[in-house]
Structure 1
Amino acid sequence: MTAMTAMTDYLQAVFDMLGPGEERYADPAAWLRLEEELGRTLPADYKQIVDAYAPVQINGHLTLSHPNSDWWNLGEEIRSISEVWADSKWESCITGADDDPRVFCQLPQLSFGTTEGLIPIAATDQGAAVFVAPWVHEFPYGVVVQGSEGDWVGHPMTFAEWLYRYLIGEEMAGWDSKAFYPGPVWLEYPPAGPGQPTHEAYGPDRGM
């Protein structure tokens, strides 16, 4: 199976699991502006998922933001979160080459929000941070996670595959991070502006 086929399969599997997206903020120009600022493109499957659903909180834990929304704006979050990470002691929990993002991302030094570094693309309310990196274990545009315990993990896969595995309850957001909820996936959409309500939706029955 080719990498492209695998990506397409997992992307469709995510769409099947989450149901029809609302595409409230989909706009190619917003992505172009953000990518120009970052000096790099973001993975196509990630952008398709974000365009379909974000800003959204999935199953009460995982948050996705959008570059074209005022609330939960992806560009603003990338900038602010990257500044926090740049000033953090991110290396404090590294024990060796296996859990060192500089090693599995093939980077001489780690940076955040930069052309060659880690871009924060999602987060959980349990304390995990999700990034995309140019290379993860020699896989292009792979996913890097620092879990709530400070542990670093590199996932050599597309974001769509990572999200699919996360939603079926695999340990994808750091040590002891399994969070499987049987039944339809719960989607919580934040207000589009002041005075507007939060609203909820559910994906189709998953047979789980």
Structure 2
Amino acid sequence: MPGDETAAFAQWRRAVTSADENTEPPVAWADFESSLGLRLPADYKAYIDEYGVGFVNRLFVVRHPTTTEAGFNLLQAPEQWEAPDAEQEYLETHLTAPPLPLGIGRDRLMLCADSDGTQIYWDTSQDDPDSWSVVVGDDDGDTWQALDLTLVETLLQLFTGRLPELGFDQAGYVTGEIRIQRNPFART
């Protein structure tokens, strides 16, 4: 069962060494959740309120509920899942079926953060969104790793070297610093 979302976000905030300014307009959470028909986890909302859109250590983007940047928007799932036969096509081209259907809503794996090759999904099968754990998947669909952690707990453990089984520390993304940058790949 995921831990205390308030404590997790407080730990995350202390661990972040630098962050670009949040330039997204504030999210009207009650209106957004009402239109979505789904409450979202408190640690996620705190993260979005604090940081907005940005890359964590040039790797993961936490998807934002209202940004106009399509590749970063929580409600704009990857195109391969939007077609009518998308789930069947996914199952035909990937090695292992996901533990739940992919998509937005209850009883699904809902994409909440991603990188080039790895995705973090909420398992939305619990009534209480603060009890949603995450499932980490890869582009090939050959691994689905359930973690008994919230999104923020996952990021905290990943970027402080407490999730070595995911391999990001070996790839150089765990550096002792946690930087959140709006777009570290923009040409200046």
**TM-based fold match above 0.5:** yes
Which ranges of structure 1 fall in alignment gaps of 5 or more residues?
103-109, 192-196, 200-208
Cα drift, residue 90 of structure 1: 7.7
1:89 to partner: Cα distance: 1.9
Question: Equivalents in 2 of 1:169, 1:135: separation in Å?
Answer: 28
* Residue of structure 1 in register with 2:26 after alignment: 27
CA separation of 1:111/1:63 partners in 2, compared to 1, >3 Å: closer, same or farther? closer
Q: Which amino acid aligns with 1:187?
A: I
How many residues align structurally? Answer: 176
Cα 1:190/1:20, change in 2 over 3 Å: closer
Q: Where do residues 99-110 of structure 1 align in structure 2 (5 Å cutoff)?
A: 101-102=99-100, 110=101
- For residue 142 of structure 1, report the CA deviation from its aligned partner: 0.7
What percentage of aligned pairs have identical amino acids? 21
Distance 1:90 1:115, change over 3 A: farther
Question: Aligned pair 1:132/2:122, yes or no?
Answer: yes
CA contact (8 A) 1:121 1:130 kept: yes
CA change 1:27–1:101 in 2 (3 A) is: same
2:107 to 94, 99, 116: 116
C-alpha displacement of 1:27: 2.1
Q: Which runs of 5+ in 2 are unaligned?
A: none
Query: Do 1:34 and 1:75's aligned partners in 2 also have CA atoms closer than 8 Å?
Result: no
Alignment of 1:181-192 (within 5 A): 181-190=174-183
Amino acid in structure 1 at the alignment position of 2:156: Y
**Which letter does structure 2 place at the counterpart of 1:134?**
T
Partner amino acid for 2:121?
F
The secondary structure found in structure 2 opposite 1:116 is coil
**Equivalent residue of 1:122, what SS?**
strand
After superposition, the CA RMSD in angstroms is 3.5
Helix, strand or coil for the counterpart of 1:55?
coil
Q: Does residue 41 of structure 1 match 2:39? A: yes
2:118 and 2:137 in contact (8 A); partners too: yes
**Separation (CA, whole Å) in 1 of partners of 2:123 and 2:35:** 16
Deviation at 1:91, TM superposition (A): 8.7
Q: Does 1 or 2 have the higher relative contact order (CA < 8 Å, sep 6+)?
A: 2
Q: Could you tell me how far apart the structure 2 residues matched to 1:167 and 1:129 are? A: 15
CA contact (8 A) 2:112 2:122 kept: yes
| TM-score scaled by length of structure 1 | 0.67
Secondary structure of the structure 2 residue equivalent to 1:77 = coil
Q: 1:13 and 2:11 equivalent?
A: yes
Change (3 A) 1:71 1:111: closer
Give the TM-score normalised by the residue count of structure 2.
0.73
